[in-house]
Amino acid sequence: MSNQQKHWEKSRGLLMITLAIWFVFSIGIFLFGAEMNEVTGPFGYPWTYWFTCQGSLGAFVILIFWFANRQEKIDEEFGFSEREDE
Amino acid sequence: MKQGNFIDNLPKIYGIYTGGFIGFIIIMAIAEQMGMTAKAIGIAFVAFTVFIYALIGYLSRTAQADAYYVAGRQVPTVFNGMATAADWMSGASFVAMAGGIYFKGYGYMALLVGWTGGYVLVASLLAPYLRKFGCYTVPDFVGTRYGGNLARFSAVVVLTVASFTYVTAQINATGTIASVALDIPFQYAVYIGLISILLCSMLGGMRGVTWTQVAQYIVLIIAYLLPVFWISNKMGAGFFPHFMLADEVARIGELESQFGFVKNSAADLATVPKGLAGITKAHSAVNASPWQFISLALAMMMGTASLPHVMMRYFTTPSVKAARKSVGWSLFFIFLLYSSAPMLATLSKLSLIDPNLSTGIIGKSIAEVQAIDWYQNWNQANLMFISDFNGNGTVELNEFFMGGKAVVLATPEIAGLPYVISGLVAAGGMAAAMSTADGLILAIANAISHDVYYKIIDPKAETAKRLVVARVLLVVIGFAGATIAAMEIQGILGSVIWAFDFAMSGLFFPLVLGVWWKRANRQGAIAGMLGGLAAGTWYLVWVRTGGSGFLGITQLTFGIFGSAVSLVAMVVVSLMTQEPDKATQKMVDEVRIPSGKTILGKQ
């Protein structure tokens, strides 16, 4: 397998993990929306309510930065990162 | 202006700008104490901020294609994040979203998840790869990846339909704010809004829009957060509302069940001005089933990843790496506002309906409410209305009506904050709507000038001529948008949601598969774009004209159907026709690695 194929394989793996986490926070939690609303979540808000207005949103921000760092590492590992830095 | 120096000095420049803006707010507050009228404050806020944006637009004027289309590809990550956040957060986010949550409650908060979760898709599936491509516009990517004028043209069609639907809503929002702040009729105010929008983008194109958007972000975030914190503290709800409003959220549910919900008769409703809504459902009863909630969120997420004016912002970063990081920063800046919207809606609803608060109006006598200053102002603007349907002389929950766009704009006044805050909020709403309108009009004008005029009609056109065409289109599209906005066909929030559905119907899969599936070819992409758009449009028309719909897909989520058709059409047609040639496959391989030259650039 060429270097480039390996790089793409790893990038695709990272994508799958990223999308899985994304799925949990954007869809997974809300599959049980109605029932979980009875439960009290962080700061005393109803559980799903809190995820909708803060929890999931924050998780997405962290997820994107994490993804960007991991992808950079993968690019470096196979020598495909850009030379000039900003 | 020396570009290198300018970029290095950005933090200092915008630091001074922010300080200056806060100084302006303080001066206005002092002026108010000294007797400046509310109207004068409103005019001062809107006029001052619009003047600053126009000045930035003028200073960023350019005659180079690279600067005009992609801001010279040198916008630093954090600043690009701010610009994207302003580009993204429109009149719908700023003016209408808290209103939607105010009226519809939990179900509408699916928009919060949808409008943020989409960025994960942008960062992981598309932005870095499209940046590597080095294109000027989104159809530029489609045209080069799939080849041929028809593919390019189809992408322009989808882009135009989606962005145009979106832009009318933004011009509507600027018009609403201008009409309230400047006290002129809505029909004229939309054109004032339009002229302010064009001032930012005409001369500098993407470069002008980038630097005004950063300035607009600063104004809009101050204008959104300051009232939320202030009202929360004034009400005694907690000094940091985001973590401390749990009791208030519970209290709304309590009050709602205490007042009960009365459905107004059709005859009574006929007396209410068009576009105003009352609270007739429990905040937990809208979109209560998981699928309703998830389908709306999903449609918004996929729409986010297909909207060209957002994608276009990541073409302006210096590198692929920077594009990825920049998506993260964008979402961070968006998060600051979105996490506050439900808090604002909660505070706003509670100030109005809680009888224990001095600001509450439910249960007061009709005459008493009609005598309140803010009620008179907003009633005059046709955005607020009360009527004694049951004739008992007091205001009931079902007898108070408000326009969705009034919630954010009127809340500071309702909660008894000084007028300077209302002026600030008007300036913030104006900034939000203008920045998005600019991004959208530019996306349409660039696609038509670059992809249709330059790439298809006249490939030999000189830069100067191309840029003239681009600017003429900017004005024409702006005026067309304003004319339609003046007709007020659909509310702000409704048209914005439609725009997402159109975009995802036609563009989501052709863009994503263009990077992630080598086998995707021209015929498949064309079938995907046109088939998806046609199917989505058909579904919308069908449901609007009394069709029952299926699988719980509504007129707000028709993109789910459109994009499903798009995916099937694209895969089937691609597999039935020839696989793309070697050169195209090699191009896709190149796109997948960050290093090396851009596909289109010669550098």
> In this structure, are residues B208 and B391 in contact, taking their beta carbons and an 8 Å threshold?
no
Which chain A residue's Cα is nearest to B322? Answer: A86
Measured between beta carbons, which residues in chain B are less than 8 angstroms from residue A32? 290
For an interface test with B, the pick among A5, A23, A48, A86 (most B C-beta atoms closer than 10 Å) comes out as A86
pLDDT of residue B392: 79
Looking at the fold, whether B244 and B311 belong to one and the same domain comes out as yes
The complex's ipTM?
Answer: 0.91
Place of tokens 């905040």: B283
How many Å apart are CA B159 and CA B173, to the nearest integer? 21
Looking at the fold, whether B382 and B513 belong to one and the same domain comes out as no
A-B interface: how many C-beta pairs under 8 angstroms? 143
Say if B320 is an interface residue toward chain A (CB within 8 Å): yes
Say if B319 is an interface residue toward chain A (CB within 8 Å): yes
B16 located within any domain: yes
Say if B63 is an interface residue toward chain A (CB within 8 Å): no
pLDDT of residue A35: 55
Say if B517 is an interface residue toward chain A (CB within 8 Å): no
Say if B302 is an interface residue toward chain A (CB within 8 Å): no
Of B179 and A70, more confident: A70
Looking at the fold, whether B100 and B218 belong to one and the same domain comes out as yes
B50 located within any domain: yes
B324 contacts A15? CB cut-off 8 A: no
Looking at the fold, whether B543 and B577 belong to one and the same domain comes out as yes
A81 contacts B594? CB cut-off 8 A: yes
Phi-psi label, residue B283: left if phi above 0, alpha if psi -120 to 50, beta otherwise: alpha
Q: Letter for the amino acid at B189?
A: A
Confidence of residue B568 (pLDDT cuts 50, 70, 90): very high
Show the domain range for B90.
3-62+76-349+415-591
Say if B307 is an interface residue toward chain A (CB within 8 Å): no
Instruction: Measure CB to CB from residue A60 to each of B109, B119, B245 and give the nearest one.
Output: B119
How many Å apart are CA B312 and CA B71, to the nearest integer? 11
Which chain B residue's Cα is nearest to A72? Answer: B321
B331 contacts A26? CB cut-off 8 A: no
B67 located within any domain: no
The minimum CA-CA distance between A74 and chain B, rounded to whole Å, is: 10
Instruction: Measure CB to CB from residue B116 to each of A60, A75, A81 and give the nearest one.
Output: A60
pLDDT 10s digits, B77-119: 888 888 888 888 887 777 777 777 777 667 777 888 888 999 9
> Considering only CA atoms, which of A48, A40, A39 is closest in space to residue B297?
A48
**Average pLDDT of the segment spanning B120-125:** 90
**Furthest C-alpha separation in chain A:** 53
Phi-psi label, residue A29: left if phi above 0, alpha if psi -120 to 50, beta otherwise: alpha
Looking at the fold, whether B384 and B494 belong to one and the same domain comes out as no
pLDDT 10s digits, B242-271: 777 777 777 777 777 777 666 767 777 777
B154 located within any domain: yes
A57 contacts B328? CB cut-off 8 A: no
Instruction: Measure CB to CB from residue A67 to each of B124, B297, B332 and give the nearest one.
Output: B124
Q: Which of B114-123, B139-148, B390-399 has the lowest mean pLDDT?
A: B390-399
Q: Can you tell me whether residue B223 is helix, strand or coil? A: helix
Sign of CA dihedral B211, B213, B215, B221: negative
Q: At what angle do helices B38-59 and B205-235 cross, to 10 degrees?
A: 150
The two three-digit tokens of residue B320, written as one number? 């692929």
> Considering only CA atoms, which of B61, B435, B43 is closest in space to residue B216?
B435
B157 located within any domain: yes
A43 contacts B246? CB cut-off 8 A: yes
Instruction: Measure CB to CB from residue A57 to each of B288, B335, B592 and give the nearest one.
Output: B335
Confidence of residue B318 (pLDDT cuts 50, 70, 90): confident
Instruction: Measure CB to CB from residue A26 to each of B113, B318, B338 and give the nearest one.
Output: B113
Measured between beta carbons, which residues in chain B are less than 8 angstroms from residue A45? 245-246, 249
B595 contacts A61? CB cut-off 8 A: no
Find the CATH number of the domain harbouring B90.
1.20.1730.10
How many Å apart are CA B497 and CA B287, to the nearest integer? 15
B293 contacts A30? CB cut-off 8 A: yes
Instruction: Measure CB to CB from residue B327 to each of A32, A52, A64 and give the nearest one.
Output: A64
A79 contacts B328? CB cut-off 8 A: no
Looking at the fold, whether B364 and B332 belong to one and the same domain comes out as no
In chain A, domain spans: 37-77
- The number of distinct structural domains making up chain B is 2
How many Å apart are CA B309 and CA B201, to the nearest integer? 13
> In this structure, are residues B93 and B173 in contact, taking their beta carbons and an 8 Å threshold?
no
How many Å apart are CA B542 and CA B539, to the nearest integer? 5
B341 contacts A22? CB cut-off 8 A: no
> Considering only CA atoms, which of B575, B594, B567 is closest in space to residue B512?
B567
Q: Can you tell me whether residue B519 is helix, strand or coil? A: coil
The two three-digit tokens of residue B519, written as one number? 């086998």
Measured between beta carbons, which residues in chain B are less than 8 angstroms from residue A60? 116-117, 119-120, 331, 335
B410 located within any domain: no
B194 located within any domain: yes
Measured between beta carbons, which residues in chain A are less than 8 angstroms from residue B120? 18-19, 22, 26, 60, 63-64, 67
B68 located within any domain: no
Among B175-189, B236-250, B311-325, B541-555, top mean pLDDT goes to B311-325
pLDDT of residue A17: 92
The two three-digit tokens of residue B500, written as one number? 């997402």
Of B190 and B27, more confident: B27
**Average pLDDT of the segment spanning B553-567:** 87
Instruction: Measure CB to CB from residue A52 to each of B109, B244, B246 and give the nearest one.
Output: B109
Looking at the fold, whether B143 and B248 belong to one and the same domain comes out as yes
Determine the distance from the C-alpha atom of residue B49 to the mean position of all C-alpha atoms in its chain, rounded to a whole number.
19
pLDDT of residue B281: 60
> Considering only CA atoms, which of B134, B77, B176, B152 is closest in space to residue B407?
B176
